[in-house]
Amino acid sequence: MIQLLVFLPLFAAAVAGLGNRMIGNTAAKLVTTGALFASCAIAWPIFIGFLTGTNHAYVAPVLTFIHSGDLQVDWALRVDALTAVMLVVVTSVSALVHLYSWGYMGEDPDQPRFFAYLSLFTFAMLMLVTADSLVQMFFGWEGVGLASYLLIGFWYQKPSAGAAAIKAFVVNRVGDFGFSLGIFGTFLVFGTTSIPAILHAAPGMAGSTIGFLGYRVDTMTLLCLLLFIGAMGKSAQLGLHTWLPDAMEGPTPVSALIHAATMVTAGVFMVCRLSPMFETSHVALEVVTVIGALTCFFAATVGTTQTDIKRVIAYSTCSQLGYMFFAAGSGAFGAAMFHLFTHAFFKALLFLSAGSVIHSMHHEQDMRFYGGLRKHIPLTFWVMIAGTLAITGVGVAGVFGFAGFYSKDAIIEAAYATGTQVGGFAWFMGVFAAGLTSFYSWRLIFLTFFGEPRWAASEHIQHAMHDHGHGHDDHGHDDHHAPDETAGHEPRPEGRSINEIAHGTLGYHPHAAPWVMKLPLLALAVGAVFAGWAFAHYFLEAEFWQGAVAYSAELHEKAEHLPTLLGLAPTIVMLIGLAIAYWGYIVDTTIPDRFARTFRGLYVFLLKKWYFDELYDFLFVRPAFAIGRFLWKQGDEGTIDRFGPDGISKLMVVGNRFMARAQSGYVYSYALVMLLGLAGLATWAVTR
């Protein structure tokens, strides 16, 4: 069954991708969506089997892959509790996103290609989560990277989409640089790339040292950190995060599936999968914690100032991934996976709702041009509220809470319970970021759904009304065919604030979403509301995992018995964040402007995303091109050729004559004569 689950999406991708226009939109959509729902239907029983404890880990072999000496890598599908969690996350979200795309991409001329990419992505992700060896994990890792590249660049005519696609791939390759070295080092140390074998042998290597680039370092620390660089790339952690916001160039369903629910969590999955290995190195765990905590704080701060609805959610994703990492770094791998699980539902929901808003607003993505949408698209409004309650972690301990309440609180408590300095730092960052999360999430809701409509100033809406006024077809606008969905116009501090934007609707009526879009929203909303409440018990206890992730009973015990006030801290900051957002965006909308003017330096710094893009451009991109040009012109042409072939021909006594003959084409005769001469010499030497 697991083979069917994994390979159905590949088959569907092949049919839709190769069939393309021949089989038509409907067939392509039916095949891919059908395959995904079938995979999903297979995945849930597997997961439930692990929940009830009736299923146990097994490996299904598929095919020989690379055999070279001690390196014995096979294609194989591993299923255990950890995989089962990922299977349901991947197939469920993917199936719903496929369905949603029927509506969202309904007017795109290139639908078979889109659905083929989506299914291909799902296949690669399934190969990643079922990997039994690091090499197959790397296969899935690169496969999802490819699908991400293709889908970000789906609207390839847009230069910005092409740029974002390359950026995503290349930044991920920086992570893969570390991942690859990590795999090589692991093979060197353990003589295998099989994950169970490595995890089994890892404790024996604790405390050993290894040479690396002339230094002598702790073996396990080195290996874990190299592998973690890979995780940082894929999961957009601080330093390698710059591709994620730009990835919003892709269609919104893609953002929901790849850049929120599944692919970007691959790094967290990897750290959890290798958790017994990470447990052998305190330094590595501390690095994971610090990077995670910093990311969670950094991304949340940036999220507070962005005006593009997708970018806000993208930074929110980045921030939530930081939570998962510092949970893992604190040793609470179960909590990390739990947050991954709940986050998949509520973040996919938030993205798809945002997509519904964008769809209804004729592809306007700037929240400054929204407002008052509550009454026009009520279903979207209510599910988005559910998602927001889930992400901000609303709930009362012991009674009921939305999904994020259980998982986020478990993480924050675990960080505190470690009792270490690093844990304390992570706890502080986590709590602070929880307040920011609440602020930017409610800010998004208030700007979008409350207040007066500010649609009149939107170029997209003006465009729509203009088209409408002249009839749809008379000057052949391809507006629907290639939606002008951008990752946001690069934010500019001098941009207008919502108070300066003219109010009014221009008589525009937001489109309501078709049922194929509403259904996935409702399904995900159920997940966002109940996933935490229903599954907290399993994910946070040891039995469910059957040893698939490292588990510390002691840490769990401590986290359970924190002082009440500490336990309430996330809820308190959440309420503060909500209050500030309410105050600034409902009660008195001039406050954000005044704040931005007063603290202009800070505001611009956040709006510019801490200047990471500018810094990297200055440090890496420009120098790479400049050095390349220098080596080409000064190295190859200016030195090697000048003193090499060109120089020799000038130096030769017969140089001029030779070149003259060469120009007239006699060089072949020369070559022939010389070679024949040499062959003759050889013959003479051999036979004499």
Partner 1 sequence: MNQLGFPILSIMLAVPLVAALWCLFAPGEGEAKARSARVTALAASLIDLVLGGVLWANYEVGGARWQFIERADVFGRFSWALGIDGIALMLIVLTVFLVPLCILASWTSIQKRVPEYMAVFLLTELLMLGVFVAQDLFLFYIMFEGGLIPMYMIIGIWGGARRIYASYKFFLYTLLGSVLMLIAMLYMAQTAGTTFIPTLMAFNFSSQAQLWLFLAFFASFAVKMPMWPVHTWLPDAHVEAPTAGSVILAGVMLKLAGYGFIRFSLPMFPEASAHYMWLIFALSMIATVYTSLVALVQKDMKKLIAYSSVAHMALVTFGLFAFNRQGIEGAMMVMLGHGLVSSALFLCVGVVYDRLHTREIARYGGLATNMPAYATFFLFFTMASVGLPGLSNFPGEFLSMMGTYEISSWAAFIAVTGIITGAAYMLYLYRRICFGPQTNADAAAMSDLDKREWLVLAPLAAAVLWMGVYPESFLSPMRADVGALLERIHPAAPASDAALTVPHAAPAAAVAGER
Name the one range near partner 1 by CB under 8 A: 60-68, 333-341, 452-460, 550-558: 60-68
476: contact with partner 1 by CB under 8 A: no
Residues numbered 669-688 forming contacts with partner 1, rule: CB under 8 A: 670-672, 674-675, 678-679, 681-683, 685-688
Residues numbered 131-150 forming contacts with partner 1, rule: CB under 8 A: 135, 138-139, 142-143, 146, 149
The 3-state DSSP composition of the chain as helix, strand, coil percent (nearest 5) reads 75, 5, 20
Query: Nearer Cβ to partner 1, position 180 or 546?
Result: 180
Query: Nearer Cβ to partner 1, position 175 or 520?
Result: 175
Residue selected from 629, 654, 657, 660 as contacting partner 1 according to rule CB under 8 A = 629
668: contact with partner 1 by CB under 8 A: yes
Rounded CA-CA distance 41/377 in Å is 31
CB neighbour class for 329 (10 Å; exposed up to 12, middle 13-18, buried from 19): buried
Residues numbered 153-172 forming contacts with partner 1, rule: CB under 8 A: 153, 156-157, 159, 161-163, 165-166, 169-170
The residue count for binding partner 1 (CB under 8 A) is 90
Quote the least distance from Cβ 170 to partner 1, whole Å.
Answer: 5
Beta-carbon-side half-sphere exposure of residue 502 (alpha carbons within 13 Å): 8
Rounded CA-CA distance 380/375 in Å is 10
18-25, Cβ contacts within 8 angstroms, sequence gap of 24 or more: 19/112, 20/112, 20/113, 20/116, 21/112, 23/112, 24/112, 25/111, 25/112
Name the one range near partner 1 by CB under 8 A: 151-159, 284-292, 428-436, 570-578: 151-159
Rounded CA-CA distance 496/512 in Å is 28
541: contact with partner 1 by CB under 8 A: no
Residue selected from 183, 248, 294, 358 as contacting partner 1 according to rule CB under 8 A = 183
Quote the least distance from Cβ 69 to partner 1, whole Å.
Answer: 4
66: contact with partner 1 by CB under 8 A: yes
190: contact with partner 1 by CB under 8 A: yes
Quote the least distance from Cβ 674 to partner 1, whole Å.
Answer: 7
Would you state the structure tokens that stand for residue 405, as one six-digit string? 């309440």
> Of 148, 36, 520, 90, which is closest to residue 344 (Cα–Cα)?
90
Cβ atoms 245, 313 nearer than 8 A = no
Residues numbered 356-395 forming contacts with partner 1, rule: CB under 8 A: none
67: contact with partner 1 by CB under 8 A: yes
Name the one range near partner 1 by CB under 8 A: 189-197, 449-457, 578-586, 595-603: 189-197
Quote the least distance from Cβ 629 to partner 1, whole Å.
Answer: 5
User: What are residue 217's DSSP bridge partners?
Assistant: 210
CB neighbour class for 396 (10 Å; exposed up to 12, middle 13-18, buried from 19): exposed
Quote the least distance from Cβ 190 to partner 1, whole Å.
Answer: 5
Quote the least distance from Cβ 64 to partner 1, whole Å.
Answer: 5
77: contact with partner 1 by CB under 8 A: no
Sign of CA dihedral 255, 259, 263, 269: negative
Residues numbered 9-48 forming contacts with partner 1, rule: CB under 8 A: 20
Quote the least distance from Cβ 682 to partner 1, whole Å.
Answer: 5
* Alpha helices (H) along 361-458: 378-392, 403-417, 421-449
Residue type (1 letter), 520: P
Residue selected from 23, 42, 57, 201 as contacting partner 1 according to rule CB under 8 A = 201
Query: Nearer Cβ to partner 1, position 490 or 641?
Result: 641
213: contact with partner 1 by CB under 8 A: yes
Render 579-645 in DSSP notation, one character per residue.
HHHHIIIII-TTHHHHHHHHTHHHHHHHHTGGGHHHHHIIIIIHHHHHHHHHIIIIIIIIIIIHHTH
